Amino acid sequence: MNVFKGVLDLIYPVICLSCGNALVAHETVICTICAVKLPLTNFHKNPVNAMSRALWGRVNIDFATAFLYFKKAGITQNLLHQLKYNGRMDIGLNLGQRFGQHIIENSFVASTDFLMPVPLHKLKIAARGYNQSELICKGLSEALSIPVCNDLKRISDTGTQTKKRRFERWLNVSEKFIIEKANYLEGKQILLVDDVFTTGATLEACCLALEGIKGISLGVATLAIATD
């Protein structure tokens, strides 16, 4: 018996995190039936999608996609809640891998040089123990064989965005990010990665911090996009 796997099974019981049924040997995080029911957006197949339209006139990007639709009380909300607040880091890695396999044939993705997670402030990382966007990034990296770059830094703690209106969110995150080793990224194609797209304020602020780099091409990818 694999001792490490046995320990993991004790920490993370082998049940589907959506329906609660037992997982079989080849299944991880969610069962096959629930995986089929994941609310895919397929935005990567259409350059003019809800996410790209939401960012028009705000930032210069060449690609925008989200993996799943996020609805209240839906499977996506359940998984992301457990990822962010219940310590289930395996969800970020697993869904990141699924996301990567889903978009692997997209031309922008295929020519991407670096994946870049949206950073958390060090105080929030200390409280949570990890950055969920970085976990998603690592899962994407495993599926796509694209390296992760962590040179984007958050320079102040903006607090929770959940209950803020769109304009308040923009004010709360604008000019809160800086890029380290900017010269290293000149002429590179970067895919920014975050967990959920709501107003786009955070991604906008990140893109603005990166846009000044000579010859850079930017895309954005989130695990989910909020819907009404």
pLDDT in tens, 120-151: 988 888 889 999 999 999 999 999 999 999 99
Banded pLDDT at 9 (limits 50, 70, 90): low
Tell me if 145 sits within 8 A of 134, measured CB to CB: no
Work out the average pLDDT over 202-228: 93
pLDDT for residue 165: 56
- Please state which CATH number belongs to domain 38-226: 3.40.50.2020
Q: What is the pLDDT averaged over residues 35-60?
A: 96
Could you report the per-residue pLDDT of 19-28, keeping only the tens digit for each? 999 999 889 9
DSSP calls for 148-181: B---EEE-S-----TT--HHHHHHHHTT-EEESS
Question: How far apart, in Å, are the Cα atoms of 130 and each of 3, 54, 119, 123, 153?
Answer: 25, 28, 10, 11, 15
Q: Give CA–CA dist 134/139, Å, rounded.
A: 9
Helix (H, G, I), strand (E, B) or coil at 50: helix
CATH 3.40.50.2020 in the chain, residue ranges: 38-226
d(CA 136, CA 146): 13
pLDDT tens, residue by residue, 162-199: 455 554 444 444 448 888 888 999 999 999 999 999 99
Token pair for residue 84? 């962010």
